Every structure is written in C-alpha cells, then in structure tokens.
Amino acid sequence: MKEMLQKLREEFGVAIAQVQDAAELDSLRVKYLGKKGELTAILKQMGKLSAEERPVIGQLANQVRSEMEERITACSTTIAEKELELRLKRETLDVTVPGKTPVIGHRHPINSTIDEIKEIFIGMGFQVIDGPEIELASYNFDRLNAEEGHPSRDWSDTFYFDEDSRVMLRSQTSPMQVRAMESMDLPIRIVAPGRVYRKDEVDATHSPMFHQIEGMVIDKGITMADLKGTLNEVMKQLYGQDTVTRFRPHHFPFTEPSCEMDVQCHKCGGVGCPTCKGEGWIELLGAGMIHPKVLEMSGIDSEVYTGWAFGMGVERLAMRKFKIPDLRLIFENDVRFLEQF
Ligand code: DAH
C-alpha cells in the first residue's frame, strides 16, 4: 500500500503541473480527493492492514492528502491571479486611441445658393415668403395674365392633377406674386424661393424639377430704374463690385415692359470662354414692370401703385458658383459629389 500511495503522489505531481485552468483543477481534485477518488479508494483498503502497519500507512495517507490539498489551493490561487491578469488586459481602455468623428451632413449646394441670395435681399429690406408647390392654375397662369390658350398651359409642358387643368405642379414661382398681393399689405418687398416643375427631358442642363427665386416690389412711384438699381446691387454682392450687367428686351405675359438680365462673364470679362459658352455674357433672370392688368386682377390700383418683379433659376447660379458641369449631379445625391461643397 505504501508503494501505491507513493505512486499516487507522483502521478498527482505530474498531473497538477499540467493544469491550465480552474475547470481542469476541479476535475483533478475530484479524481484524486473526491468521494470516489483514487486516494479514497486506497484508504478503503486500510482494513486489510495489520495493526502495526495501519498507523504508519495512515500517517502517510494523511500526509499525501494534505500535500495534495495544499498544492491544489496553491494552484487555484495561481490560476485566479492569471485569469485576473488576462481579464484586466482584455478590458483595458486605451484613452490615447483617437476617437471616431461622427459624420455630420451639411447644406446642399442648391440650399446654400438660395441662402446666399436670401441674405442679400434680407439686407435690402425684403421679406422671404414660402408657398405651395401644388398650385391652382389660376394663380400660376390666369392671374398672371396667361389666360386659356397660352402656349405654356399646354398639357405637353406642364403637370396637371385633374382633367380640367385646375390644379397643377407650379411651373414657376411667379404665382407667389399673386399670393403676396392677395395676402400682404402694401408696400410689398418679397423674395420667394422654391421648387418648380416642367415636363422637361433630363439632360445636362434640364430637369423636370428645379428651383427658382421670385422677387417682387410694389409701392408708389416704383420704376424700371428701381429694378435695375436693385438687381445691379444684388449682382455686385453676388459676383463682386466690378460686375457688369445688361438688360435685353424680352416678353413675359405678366410684365410690361419685360426684359432679361445678363451678367458679363466674371471669368473672361466678356471676351468669351467655356464658362459663358463663348458668349461673354451669362443669362441670369427674367424681369420687368408688373403688368397693370396683373395688379388690377389682385385688387391693386395700377394708377397709384407700380411694381417690378423678377424670376431667376437657382441651378444655373449654383452650377456656375460651384463649377458643376452637369445638372444631373445636383440631384443624384451621391455623397461623394455632395461632400465637395
Ligand atoms: N416666371 C418666369 C419663368 O419661369 C421668370 C420671370 C420673368 C419671373 C419675369 C418674373 C418676371 O417675375 O418678372 O420663366
């Protein structure tokens, strides 16, 4: 029996040296010291021993047991320390690692262009107003002196909601003139930016949806000189103090006289270059003195009051400002494109 105990002690020594974790240590403990363990099995045979042998073997067995217990306790402490160390390493927070910057969006080039123009007009005492994109045809056309039969009312170039062509997607921001005349007290100074819709095929310079900014002034004694003076000042603030403009005669049903305004190309100074497509001038807006019939239809006495109005396309301004070669890029909403502005 003595040899059996010695052998067990040796075996245990080898086994415990290989233990890696708490689970392994526990099964080792059960294997050697458990109720059905190997040491217990040997001790069960003590009864067969002689009276002289029993205390000697008993002492040895106790010694082996306490040795095993001690080593198990020591091993368990080592494992716990090792595991704690590992856990601390795993859970370390490195405060020196750079943080992740959250991605924040920014204004779309169309909105920033509108905002810039709004700011200029606000600085000149204008009020910014907003109105519906789904508009009555009577506001979009009739009250602007474009009655039934006018070419711009054709099914082929405008979006209607109903068979009798009474409700439509506005084709211009000009109905905001009528809305302002109807709802505001005189004198009126407004700009009205917003989306407009036309049945245009999509290409590098056309889109069925685009943006305009409408402007209007109505007061006593307003003349074409006020229109030119105001727009010239706006263009100087937009393109620089030495900006040159020109006004060409044109026709719009709701203004008389009507004109279009060009700015001399700020790139080439009027010589002709890719920016102005070789023309030296860039067409910016339509404008004119509000037709007396338009004033009268909204209940304004055209003998007492006069006014001017303009409408400009925002996409063209933005394309020039940000050097965008193709209108489609503006609406595709590819962040790689939009992030550049
Ligand atoms: N609404 C016109 C268009 O879409 C632009 C325009 C021209 C607006 C003359 C005006 C104006 O207010 O007076 O082509």
Most confident stretch, 110-119, 257-266, 325-334 = 110-119
Rounded Cα gap, residues 184 and 206, in angstroms: 34
CA distance 318 to 111: 9
**Residue 88, token pair as written in the block:** 């601390």
Distance CA 220, CA 57 (A): 126
Which residue has its alpha carbon closest to ligand 1 atom 9?
Answer: 287
| pLDDT tier, 54 (very low <50, low <70, confident <90, very high otherwise) | confident
Which SS3 state, helix, strand or coil, does residue 190 take? strand
Helix (H) or strand (E) holding 148: none
- The alpha carbon of 286 and the centre of ligand 1 are apart by a number of angstroms equal to 5
Give the number of the atom of ligand 1 that is nearest the alpha carbon of residue 177. 12
Residue 281 C-alpha to ligand 1 middle, in angstroms? Answer: 19
In angstroms, what CA-CA distances link 177 with 46, 137, 150, 174, 197?
114, 14, 19, 5, 17
244: CA distance to ligand 1 center in Å? Answer: 21
Output the pLDDT for position 147: 80
Select, from the ranges 15-19, 155-159, 217-221, the one with the highest average predicted confidence (pLDDT).
217-221
Task: Give the model's confidence band at 115: pLDDT under 50 very low, under 70 low, under 90 confident, else very high.
Answer: very high
Q: Name the residue at shortest CA distance from atom 5 of ligand 1.
A: 311
**Sign of the CA dihedral with 76 first, then 77, 80, and 83 last:** negative
- What residues does ligand 1 touch, defined as CB less than 6 Å away? 172, 174, 214, 252, 255, 286-288, 309-311
Q: Is the dihedral of CA 154, 158, 164, 167 positive or negative?
A: negative
Question: N- to C-terminal Cα distance for the chain?
Answer: 90
SS3 content of the chain, % helix, strand, coil (to 5): 45, 20, 35
Label residue 281 by pLDDT band (50, 70, 90): very high
CA of 265 to the centre of ligand 1 (A): 22
Give the number of the atom of ligand 1 that is nearest the alpha carbon of residue 196.
4
Residues contacting residue 282 through CB under 8 Å, at least 6 positions apart: 262, 263, 264, 265, 275, 276, 320
What's the mean per-residue pLDDT of the chain?
A: 91
CA of 174 to the centre of ligand 1 (A): 6
User: Binning pLDDT at 50, 70 and 90, where does residue 43 land?
Assistant: confident
H-type alpha helices, 240-334:
292-297, 314-322, 327-332
Which atom number of ligand 1 is nearest to the Cα of residue 171? Answer: 4
Distance, CA 287 to ligand 1 centroid (Å)? Answer: 6
Q: Count Cα atoms within 13 angstroms, Cβ side, for 276.
A: 19
Q: Tell which one of 152, 170, 178, 254 to mutate to probe ligand 1, the residue whose CB is within 8 A of the most ligand atoms.
A: 254
Is 266 a residue whose pLDDT tops 80?
no
Q: What is the pLDDT of residue 274?
A: 81
Helix (H) or strand (E) holding 35: none
pTM of whole model > 0.85? no
Give 94's pLDDT tier (boundaries 50, 70, 90). confident
**In sequence order, what E strands does the chain have?**
127-128, 134-136, 167-169, 188-197, 209-220, 245-252, 255-264, 281-290, 305-313
Q: What phi, psi does 24 have (nearest 5°)?
A: -65, -40
Q: Quickly count: other Cβ atoms within 10 Å of residue 336's Cβ.
A: 6
Q: Are the C-beta atoms of 258 and 291 separated by less than 8 Å?
A: no
130 C-alpha to ligand 1 centroid (Å)? 17
Q: Which two tokens stand for residue 226?
A: 């006020």
